[in-house]
Amino acid sequence: MPRKRVAILISGRGSNMVALIEAAKAADYPAKVALVISNRPQAGGLSHAQAAGIATQIIDHRTFASRETFEQELQRTLDVNGIEIVCLAGFMRLLTPWLVSRWEHRMLNIHPALLPAYKGLDTHERALADGVKIHGATVHFVVPEMDSGPIIAQGAVGVRDDDTPDTLAARVIKVEHKLYPLALALVAAGKVSVVDGRCKTEGAAEPATPLISPEI
């Protein structure tokens, strides 16, 4: 089966982008990172993608008169490059329903919390303030409502009594780097379907939810 052509959208250093690129180097990985797009010309992840031999493109949102024209150019670029799956990896732009609808169940995002808890920003601070004992990350399909799409996979860490937002974030990012390649592989291999707003994973006796050791 041909590997699915993937575009990764970034705005910064793209650490999850790096994890996806590294995973896709395996011969049996079902997806190929064909393109990295940044809306910020100075995004640090661009140089890593270029060093890995991956095509990159800058679509600076500040040069467009409206969000709509920016997204039209983004869609045109994805089409021209034959992209089949889009992965958001620290892409700091809210996308409109116009674009999201064109990528239904083909656009993925990773969020640093166990959704549906802690949507939005400052997830680690909020989790610590609430005194939760388990925190983590979620990969989900993108829908127009922020951080609300069907959940593909989740990974968890235990919260320590002496955690700060920074120490907790450092452990969660390690989970993200394992989780995103796993979730993309499931989607690219055609093993994930959405039934009644929930993801079903083909052939999985257990949900696609790897609980990561609290020692991470």
Mean pLDDT of 188-210: 82
Distance CA 208, CA 179 (A): 10
User: Is residue 151 over pLDDT 60?
Assistant: yes
CA-closest candidate to residue 140, choices 160, 159, 112: 112
- The tokens describing 149, both together, are 């799409």
Distance CA 154, CA 133 (A): 16
Q: Residue ranges of the alpha helices (H) in 52-159? A: 67-80, 97-102, 123-130
Class at the top of the CATH hierarchy for domain 109-216: alpha beta
pLDDT in tens, 60-80: 999 999 999 999 999 999 999
- Annotated catalytic sites, by residue? 111
Q: Which amino acid is at 66?
A: S
The torsion of the CA quartet 190, 195, 199, 200, rounded to 10 degrees, works out to -60
Phi and psi at 51, nearest 5°, equal -65, -30
CATH 3.40.50.170 range(s) for the chain read 1-103, 109-216
pLDDT of residue 203: 73
When the candidates are 3.40.50.1950, 3.30.360.10, 3.40.50.300, 3.40.50.170, the CATH number that belongs to 1-103 is 3.40.50.170
pLDDT of residue 214: 46
Q: What is the pTM of this model?
A: 0.94
pLDDT of residue 1: 81
User: Is residue 135 over pLDDT 90?
Assistant: yes
